[in-house]
Amino acid sequence: MISTSEERILEAALFLFSQRGYHAVTTKEIAHHAGVSEMTLFRHFSSKQKLFETMYEIYIFTPQFKNLFEQQMEGNLERDLIKICQCYQENLLKNQKIIMMQFRNYDFMSISDAPLFRFPSELKRLLMDYLSEMKEKGYFMADAEIWAVNILTYNFGLFMFCLVNKQLLTGTEIDKYIADYAKQLSKANAQ
């Protein structure tokens, strides 16, 4: 469980990192913004990097994905894919500042275990497990890993397209694209 001071530090880090980027923000500024001492910050997080990674884990890869896969799947490929894609889009949209900040900080991009890479890897694993289960039941015929990557790529591409071209798509249109994608994918993989 996260303590109140940890929560304030994480929220301050999220705010400052998303406003100015990782390198422009000091731990002293984060501590000040959170209303704690820098020593308290380091007591909870051993380094600025660890603080960033923890912030990313909590705000990006939330338990909602595990809950989605463990408790909300219906066993209907098309409807489940719509839920998965909508959840992913909501999560990406909610965290767009953090994601864009990560792109601006190229030193994170070169680290293979960077948070931006870990999140899709964990989601890929959940997708592969789900698609493998659907394959065992005879509802899905293709390679689970290839389609897990396809789903992630489609959704991240849709998110980036909307981010860059905000005037071209609205939230309602995104839902239509997701529904059509899920329909096409489930139809292409039906027996």
Report the CATH number at residue 33: 1.10.10.60
Among 42, 57, 72, where does a domain finish?
57
Q: Supply 80's token pair.
A: 């489940």
SS3 120: helix
d(CA 34, CA 11): 8
pLDDT digits (tens, 9 = 90+) for 111-137: 555 566 667 788 899 999 999 999 999
CA 83 to chain centre: 15
Note whether 65 and 132 are same-domain residues: yes
Q: Are 123 and 155 in contact (CB under 8 A)?
A: no
Note whether 118 and 25 are same-domain residues: no
Note whether 165 and 82 are same-domain residues: yes
Note whether 67 and 39 are same-domain residues: no
- What is the model's pTM? 0.75
Tally of structural domains, the chain: 2
Note whether 47 and 94 are same-domain residues: no
> 166 versus 95: which is more confidently predicted?
95
Note whether 96 and 158 are same-domain residues: yes
d(CA 86, CA 151): 12
How high is the pLDDT of residue 1? 52
Note whether 72 and 105 are same-domain residues: yes
Determine the structural domain holding residue 45 and report its residue range: 4-57
Note whether 71 and 21 are same-domain residues: no
Indicate if the pLDDT at residue 38 is higher than 70: yes
Note whether 31 and 100 are same-domain residues: no
How high is the pLDDT of residue 24? 87
> 173 versus 29: which is more confidently predicted?
29
Average pLDDT over residues 143-157: 94
Note whether 131 and 43 are same-domain residues: no
Among 42-46, 69-73, 162-166, 173-177, the least confident range? 162-166
Among 41, 57, 73, where does a domain finish?
57
Indicate if the pLDDT at residue 97 is higher than 70: yes
d(CA 141, CA 133): 11
Note whether 46 and 130 are same-domain residues: no
How high is the pLDDT of residue 43? 96
d(CA 133, CA 140): 9
pLDDT digits (tens, 9 = 90+) for 49-95: 899 888 877 776 666 788 899 899 999 999 999 999 999 988 888 77
pLDDT digits (tens, 9 = 90+) for 2-28: 679 999 999 999 888 877 878 889 999
Note whether 88 and 154 are same-domain residues: yes
